[in-house]
Amino acid sequence: MRRNALVVLFSLLGTAATAFAAGISQSPAKMSLEYVLSMMDKSADDFKSLTAALEHTTYTALVKDSSTESGEIYVRKDSKLRIDFINPDPRTILRNGDNLYIYNPKINRVEEYNIGKNRALADEYLALGFGTRAESLKKNYEVSLAGEEDLDGQKMAVLDLVPKSDEVRKQITKIRMWVDEASWLPVQQKFFEAGSGDYFLSRYRKVMKNLKIGDGKFKPDWPKGTKIEKPRGE
């Protein structure tokens, strides 16, 4: 079955975590939700772009199976995003304004979606936490501080985000986000799908903020002969 544009938005960021056996510790007295959000605001003040290595894992509860892709992500503040998956199979996801493209070089095909009706959701989910201000988070989610956790030797503030929108909760019931206390940028996001036990988790490494990323990186410039499809059910 073809997924509509809204479901595609959610599936793009999926990354499944293998286990974090150590539980989340209680936040110390000095750490509070308002403090974390204020520091994220400071990071957002000068946010222009981000590049990172990306691991994207999808977990399917019914068959107790997970699959992982790896590649690179490029984000720019002006609603532009590109993900180049390299392993195990090459694939490109490109967002430029209201247009979303999924390019599969193996079959020389591009699926093109218009996300104009869901632009606000795209802004929130395709680059959640990258330059996102606390005001926007509180507008769209019930936000709570789950605690702190060490991840790859770095201290993380862990936030739980429950969508306020009934429509969104039909797709995603909760998002858990790990925020690096050195940069106050997300390094991991876990999306819990509604009613299935499935989840996605995105892990970001080698995060570089505010490198110059030219417009060419976000142009839908596909090889000659590429078939472009606009799936029904958008």
* C-alpha to C-alpha distance for 215 and 50, rounded to whole angstroms: 14
5-16+26-217 has which fold?
outer membrane lipoprotein receptor (LolB), chain A (2.50.20)
- For the chain, the average pLDDT equals 85
Identify whether the C-beta of residue 34 lies closer than 8 Å to the C-beta of residue 192. Answer: no
Return the domain boundaries, the chain: 5-16+26-217
The confidence score (pLDDT) of residue 132 equals 87
- Whole-prediction pTM: 0.82
Mean pLDDT across the stretch 14-22?
Answer: 31
CA angle 162, 168, 174 (to 5 degrees): 30
The confidence score (pLDDT) of residue 60 equals 94
The confidence score (pLDDT) of residue 189 equals 95
Q: Mind listing the pLDDT tens digit for each residue in 162-202?
A: 999 898 888 899 999 999 999 999 999 999 999 889 999 99
The confidence score (pLDDT) of residue 232 equals 66
CA angle 74, 145, 27 (to 5 degrees): 115
Q: Mind listing the pLDDT tens digit for each residue in 61-79?
A: 999 999 999 999 999 988 8
* C-alpha to C-alpha distance for 160 and 146, rounded to whole angstroms: 6
- For β-strands 227-229 and 109-114, DSSP reports them as parallel
* C-alpha to C-alpha distance for 57 and 156, rounded to whole angstroms: 20
* C-alpha to C-alpha distance for 85 and 59, rounded to whole angstroms: 18
- For β-strands 49-60 and 199-209, DSSP reports them as antiparallel
The confidence score (pLDDT) of residue 230 equals 87
User: Quick check: 13 pLDDT over 80?
Assistant: no
Q: Mind listing the pLDDT tens digit for each residue in 110-166?
A: 999 988 777 666 666 666 888 888 998 999 899 999 999 999 999 999 999 999 989
User: Quick check: 16 pLDDT over 80?
Assistant: no
CB atoms within 10 A of CB 199: 24
Q: Where residue 14 falls among pLDDT bands split at 50, 70, 90?
A: very low
Residue that wins the pLDDT comparison between 131 and 82: 82
The confidence score (pLDDT) of residue 131 equals 87
Neighbouring residues of 163: CB distance < 8 A, sequence distance ≥ 6 = 140, 141, 169, 172, 173, 174, 175
User: Quick check: 18 pLDDT over 60?
Assistant: no
The confidence score (pLDDT) of residue 25 equals 39
How far is the CA of 32 from the CAs of 27, 35, 210, in angstroms? 7, 5, 27
